Amino acid sequence: MLFSRVCLLVVVTPSRRDLLQAVAVGGTTGIAACLGGPAEDPIVARPNGSLPAGQHEWHTGLATDADGNDVLPVHHVYLFCRLADDPTDTDRDRLERALSSLERAAAWRSTGLFCTVGYSAQYFDRFDVPLRDVELPTPAELSEEIDKFPGGQPPDLDDADLFVHLASDEAAGVLAAEAALRGDRTTFNGTTMDGSLPDRVAIVDRRSGFVAPGLPAAKQAERAVEPLPDEPIDDQAPLWMGFRAGYRASQASETEVTIDTGPFAGGTVATLETFEVAVDLWYRDHDHAGRIELMFSPGHDPATVGSVGERLGSDPDNAAAADAIHDDLERAGKVGHAQKAARARVDGRPRLLRRDVNTVDFDVPGIHFLALSQSAADYVTVRNALAADDLPLPVGAPSVNGITQYLHATHRGVYLIPPRTDRSFPRPAGIRP
């Protein structure tokens, strides 16, 4: 019902709201309808140069804001897949041809299409030999390291073999790329597809997300999901909780998260957690100054942060806040999220490259938190820094430990994203000798 209503609207006038809904709903017939029929192709940027070696290397194709911070594409689709049996060379060839077709059709940039493929420990377990030179835990192993579950529900652990991440500023771009991968369209952006996901690949889960200034406020205005606060979310905020994230100085660079040795050198490790975010309570419990204290640090002056963090330039000063964490705790009785996270830096450099986006996938406000790192252990280190078991926080006091009490992990997975040359059903020792 919802679907046909959405797509009808899109065909007539594809407003931003309609496109967001179309990406969230997805589907095959609907996708074609949303694009105006199978004959019509999305118009996304055409290829215009060579591709980086790493699938995760998006930097040169990302827009930047006025302060030089990378800006993520608006629309995101994640396809979680299982592969029956062992991959054959035919499977490899077919997947590679499909991915190459997407690259031939659209530029590797936000106005075109980014497409990355990652593989789980479960995928590699089918081979006789172990994965070489990469520590890739199962989601269960990861959970043991980062969850305490004091009375809470553990997250669902991804049991996919591979996941495909499609991202673009163009809703029609991600939808058509998805349809082309599924084999539901023979062209993408005017280019004939030379393959699709192999028949033995089953898509078992689909998630979607969005991020851009004003989108959480727009979702709130239409009450697209509940619970949301009554207080208006700032119309410049790209994320539900009201602030920008991903400043240049608080992100690891793509080079820093790239695996540098072994057969998968040039790839990276992605940890993907979905969080339900108690946005209503976050706004109910704190005014703007209180939210800055818990998101950044009690030492951050609201005047230097601005409404959504727009006055912070390219450096929110999380490192200095991390150094002041004990003083802040003593003085204010609380600590901020970013200052806790910055304690996990190595030689002053952040460990993670975060690419988190909002979602309404599970009918509550949520975040798909995708973090790239050189190893899965880096993610664990940061997660544990956020848990802050080492800090003498007031026992039983609510709202003193950053944003942790407003987040609940509902899904978790960890994936190796191989370099582009080895992205189609890699072997555990890679293609290189």
Residue type, 87: P
**Which position among 300, 345, 355, 420 is part of the footprint of ligand HEM (CB under 6 A)?**
345
257 forms part of the interface with ligand HEM (CB under 6 A):
no
**Which position among 176, 294, 295, 372 is part of the footprint of ligand HEM (CB under 6 A)?**
295
Size of site (CB under 6 A) for ligand HEM: 28
**Which position among 316, 413, 418, 426 is part of the footprint of ligand HEM (CB under 6 A)?**
316
Nearer to ligand HEM, 49 or 232 (CB): 232
Helix spans in 156-248 (H): 171-182, 215-221
Beta partners for residue 117, in sequence order: 164
274 forms part of the interface with ligand HEM (CB under 6 A):
no
What is the spatial distance between Cα 318 and Cα 338, in angstroms, rounded to a whole number?
Answer: 6
What is the spatial distance between Cα 332 and Cα 335, in angstroms, rounded to a whole number?
Answer: 8
> Which region among 113-121, 220-228, 300-308, 335-343 touches ligand HEM (by CB under 6 A)?
335-343
Structure token pair of residue 123: 């995928």
338 forms part of the interface with ligand HEM (CB under 6 A):
yes
**Which position among 101, 120, 122, 250 is part of the footprint of ligand HEM (CB under 6 A)?**
250
- Are 78 and 162 within 8 A, CB to CB? no
**Which position among 131, 142, 341, 376 is part of the footprint of ligand HEM (CB under 6 A)?**
341
Q: Which of residues 386-415 bind ligand HEM (CB under 6 A)?
A: 386, 407
> Which region among 23-31, 155-163, 259-267, 338-346 touches ligand HEM (by CB under 6 A)?
338-346
**Which position among 56, 334, 368, 383 is part of the footprint of ligand HEM (CB under 6 A)?**
383
CA geometry: angle 247, 210, 97, nearest 5 deg: 100
**Which position among 342, 364, 370, 417 is part of the footprint of ligand HEM (CB under 6 A)?**
342
DSSP line for 385-398: HHHTTTS-PPTT-S
**Which position among 247, 282, 283, 415 is part of the footprint of ligand HEM (CB under 6 A)?**
247
Nearer to ligand HEM, 173 or 238 (CB): 238
275 forms part of the interface with ligand HEM (CB under 6 A):
yes
Specify whether the backbone of 214 is left (phi greater than 0), alpha (psi in -120 to 50) or beta.
Answer: left
At 191 the three-state DSSP class reads strand
CA geometry: angle 372, 136, 375, nearest 5 deg: 40
Residue 16, φ and ψ in degrees, nearest 5: -55, -40
382 forms part of the interface with ligand HEM (CB under 6 A):
yes
Q: In whole angstroms, how close is the CB of 358 to ligand HEM at the nearest point?
A: 9
Q: In whole angstroms, how close is the CB of 243 to ligand HEM at the nearest point?
A: 4
207 forms part of the interface with ligand HEM (CB under 6 A):
no
What is the spatial distance between Cα 104 and Cα 12, in angstroms, rounded to a whole number?
Answer: 30
At 101 the three-state DSSP class reads helix
What is the spatial distance between Cα 55 and Cα 377, in angstroms, rounded to a whole number?
Answer: 21
**Which position among 367, 372, 414, 416 is part of the footprint of ligand HEM (CB under 6 A)?**
367
Specify whether the backbone of 110 is left (phi greater than 0), alpha (psi in -120 to 50) or beta.
Answer: alpha
> Which region among 40-48, 236-244, 323-331, 387-395 touches ligand HEM (by CB under 6 A)?
236-244
Q: In whole angstroms, how close is the CB of 289 to ligand HEM at the nearest point?
A: 15
Q: In whole angstroms, how close is the CB of 410 to ligand HEM at the nearest point?
A: 12
Specify whether the backbone of 231 is left (phi greater than 0), alpha (psi in -120 to 50) or beta.
Answer: beta
What is the spatial distance between Cα 332 and Cα 68, in angstroms, rounded to a whole number?
Answer: 33
**Which position among 116, 318, 381, 401 is part of the footprint of ligand HEM (CB under 6 A)?**
318
Beta partners for residue 369, in sequence order: 273, 356
How many other β-carbons are positioned within 10 Å of the β-carbon of residue 109?
Answer: 21
Q: In whole angstroms, how close is the CB of 242 to ligand HEM at the nearest point?
A: 9
54 forms part of the interface with ligand HEM (CB under 6 A):
no
- Are 340 and 298 within 8 A, CB to CB? no
What is the spatial distance between Cα 36 and Cα 14, in angstroms, rounded to a whole number?
Answer: 10
Residues 100-129 as x/- pattern, contact with ligand HEM by CB under 6 A: ------------------------------
The residues that touch ligand HEM, with contacts defined as CB under 6 A, are 239, 241, 243, 245-247, 250, 275, 277, 295-296, 316, 318, 337-338, 341-342, 345, 350, 352, 354, 367, 369, 371, 382-383, 386, 407
